[in-house]
Every structure is written in C-alpha cells, then in structure tokens.
Amino acid sequence: MKPVVAIIGRPNVGKSTLFNRLSKRKKAIVIDEPGATRDRNYGDCTWNDREFMLIDTGGFEPISTERILIQMREQTSLAIEEADVIIFLMDGKEGLTPSDEEITKILREVEKPTIFVINKIDGPKHEELAYEFYRLGVEKLYTISAEHGVGVGELMNSVVEHLPPPVEADEDEDRIRIAVIGKPNVGKSSMINKMLGYERTIVNPIPGTTRDAIDTPFELDDRKYLLIDTAGIRRKSKISLTLEQYSVIQAIKTISRSDIALILIDAEEGITDQDTKIAGLALERGVVCIIVVNKWDIIEKDNSTMGNYVKDIKDKLKFLYFAPTIFVSALTGQRVLTIFDTIETAYSQHTKRIQTSLLNKKVQEFLKMNPPPRYRHKEHNFSYITQTSIKPPTFVFFVREPKAVHFSYQRYLTNKIREEFGFDQVPIRLIFRKKGK
C-alpha cells in the first residue's frame, strides 16, 4: 500500500497549486482509452523513485465557527489521521497568522513527521518574509514558490526521507486480490458473503455502514484469493459527513493494492455518473475491471433485456469497452460463482508476457498495414518495442518523436495488440519514448 502525504493549511495559501505541481511529477503514461475521471483531491505521485498518494485538503481554520470552515477543519483532521507525512503550508506574503499558530499547536500533539513550509517565496529577495515564522519554534522551515517551483525539490527530498520504509512484498504473490467497489448500498457486503459462502461482513441497508476495507483470504479449487470489501464511494455533493471523505481515501488505497476490481452496479438504477467515476478510478490505477450488475433477480425481463442493458453499459462506460459484464444476484446467489471463471481469464491476461522478438515482428506488420503519419515531412520511425511490466501489461515504443504519435494512432496500436496477443478483457498501457533514451 502506498504511503500518504497530506498538504494542510489555511485557505488560499497555495495548497492546490503545490498539489497540481507535484501530481504532475509522475511521468505521464498513455491509458488505452479516454474517459477516466480524475479526483482533484487525491493524486498518485513519484519522487526519487518513491511512490505515494498525495492528499489536497480543504482550508484549515481552527479558530473559525463558520459551518463550512468547521467541515474543512474536520476533513483536514481526518487527512492528518490518515497521513504518514504532513506538509503544513503557510503564506509568506500574508505573514504568520493566529490560525497558523493554532494549527502548529495541534500538530505538536500529532506524532507524525510534519514539514513546515512557507509558500510564495519567489526568490532570494523574498526570503526575509519567512523570518517571523521562526516564532513558531520550529527547527527547520522550508521556503518555496509552489507557482514557480522554487525550493520544491528540496522540500520533496525531505518528504521522501520521512516516508515509512517500503512494504516488503506479500508472501502470497500468487494470491489474486479482488476489490469489491461501488456506490453505497449497492450490495458489496452481500456479494462478498455470497462469494465466500458464509457471513463475513455486516450486511446493513443503511448506506455507508462499511467504513474500512475488510480483507478476507480464502481458497477455491486450489487457487488463492483475497477479497477486499471497501467503503462505498459517494458523490462529493452527497458527502455530508467528513467520514465519507475518509472512505474515499480508503477506497482509492484499496483499489491501488488490488489486481481485480469488481465494479458493482445496481440493476434497478442502471449506470450512474458516480459509477462512471468509480470505474475511472479503477482504470487509472491499471487494475482489471469486471462490471457486475447486481440485483438482476428483481428486474422484469424479456429476450432483449440483457442485450439492451449491455449496450447501455458500453455506451456509458466507453473507456471500459473491453471489460467483461456479469449479471448476478447477491441475494439468491444467481451466477455469483461464474465471477471466478471471469476472474481467472482476466487475471491470466493481466499477468501475460509477450516475447520481445514476437512483439517486434507483429508490430512491424501493424506498421506496414497502417503506416504512422509522417512527422515534419519525414517517415516517423518506430525502431523498437518491448513489454516492460504486467499488472497491467505495459508496452514501451521507442520512436522518433513521442509527442508526434497522434492519439488515434495510439488507439490503432492498442487495438491491434489486444487482438493479436489476447488482451481483450484487461487494460493495457502504451508508453512512447524517444529513440536512444
């Protein structure tokens, strides 16, 4: 599981600016389909080869009594509770405020690494703005300009030094990790109970009952599995309790440590905007997505019902056109066991490796069938391709100019690789690098 770094501070001190700068530090990769949504409050980052999740919190005003600021304070407190390292950001141009002093008092009671940062110090001539912050009694202050990137490197080196040691690989490397995700009250706990064959988690019709991920290892037909039941993910407009915000963090972390995401859909409600966002979170993190339509037993059907439902799913989740769809009833157990057959097929694709020589031979055939557009009036050479990793299968193309590979041509290559090598049920990623680098 990735460690968590939380950026906290008063409103308008530059937290979002710093978050946006850091979240873009992770080298962009090409997801095979568009449409995956991004939550601006959470981002995956990499610095000095250490990966972590970054949280951008709402403004923290501990001395305010306004309701919205009280909610911000509660949300920030939850982020502090969840974080492994805390970045406390202050505004150098505005100077030290009573709120900064109050937040410092709170942080002194938190036994976690905390890095005190003065923002909006755009250069040496502004360094004197930071002097008054030493009144906080902090031994080390970092001065940065989040907008211009000044001092951010030194700050992040310190953040990485304070991260907990990387977690050793799990002993059960062959255990398939399955996350059950979806909106609250869609039947996640009931589904897990039926898959396990006994009552393992609390089944309660009140949305939001499950607050934390519950892991259950088990075996079926000599195959090892780990089922993870996550807290439900609500729309932001529906999050009235800050505890639900905490649940979103937990769900994202759960997805990140899973191989398979069972995306539960309520058959009565159909695909909602929130289902699309949940699916996008899973796809972004490269896990296998299996769409499971629950409560199918209560739907009135005719010969075209299932076909029309599948068409609607494919239309609303275009970026998951390759994902298998299963219709089940967690209540009656209808077709629940077929989920495992689908998991086995998808997992074998998720962990498949293609021999480099065969890969290059076939890709050259693809290029001849449909040559890439010329770049600056010259042939756009694709010199080499290799598969660099699995989970998800990731392919690196060495080309003349990566930025010149149009998205439509990337999609063509994605589809040909899927078709030729049998990756029809899983996400694959294509990365384009400059030849010689």
338-386 tens-digit pLDDT: 999 999 999 999 999 999 999 999 999 999 999 988 877 777 788 899 9
In this structure, which amino acid lies at residue 152?
V
Mean pLDDT over 257-286 rounds to: 89
Question: Above 70 in pLDDT, residue 225?
Answer: yes
Mean pLDDT over 216-228 rounds to: 87
Give residue 174's pLDDT. 76
Question: Above 60 in pLDDT, residue 72?
Answer: no
Query: For 190-236, where are the E strands, in sequence order?
Result: 214-220, 223-229
Mean pLDDT over 122-135 rounds to: 85
The structural domains of the chain, ordered by start, are 4-162 (3.40.50.300), 176-350 (3.40.50.300), 356-434 (3.30.300.20)
Which residues face 44 on adjacent strands?
53
| pLDDT tens readout for residues 192-206 | 889 988 555 545 554
Task: For residues 166 and 210, give the distance between their C-alpha atoms in angstroms, rounded to a whole number.
Answer: 28
Give residue 376's pLDDT. 75
| Residue in 261, 246, 268, 333 with CA at minimum distance from that of residue 292 | 261
| Residue in 4, 51, 7 with CA at minimum distance from that of residue 27 | 51
| pLDDT tens readout for residues 387-432 | 999 999 999 999 988 888 899 999 999 999 999 999 999 999 999 9
Give residue 373's pLDDT. 82
What's the whole-number average pLDDT of the chain? 82
Which residues face 56 on adjacent strands?
7
| From 58-72, 89-103, 145-159, the region with the lowest mean pLDDT | 58-72
CB-CB contact of 211 with 247 (8 Å): yes
Question: Above 50 in pLDDT, residue 237?
Answer: no
In this structure, which amino acid lies at residue 324?
P
Task: For residues 239 and 193, give the distance between their C-alpha atoms in angstroms, rounded to a whole number.
Answer: 27
Give residue 341's pLDDT. 95
Give residue 419's pLDDT. 95
CB-CB contact of 37 with 280 (8 Å): yes
Collapsing DSSP states into helix, strand and coil, what is residue 282?
helix
Which residues face 176 on adjacent strands?
225
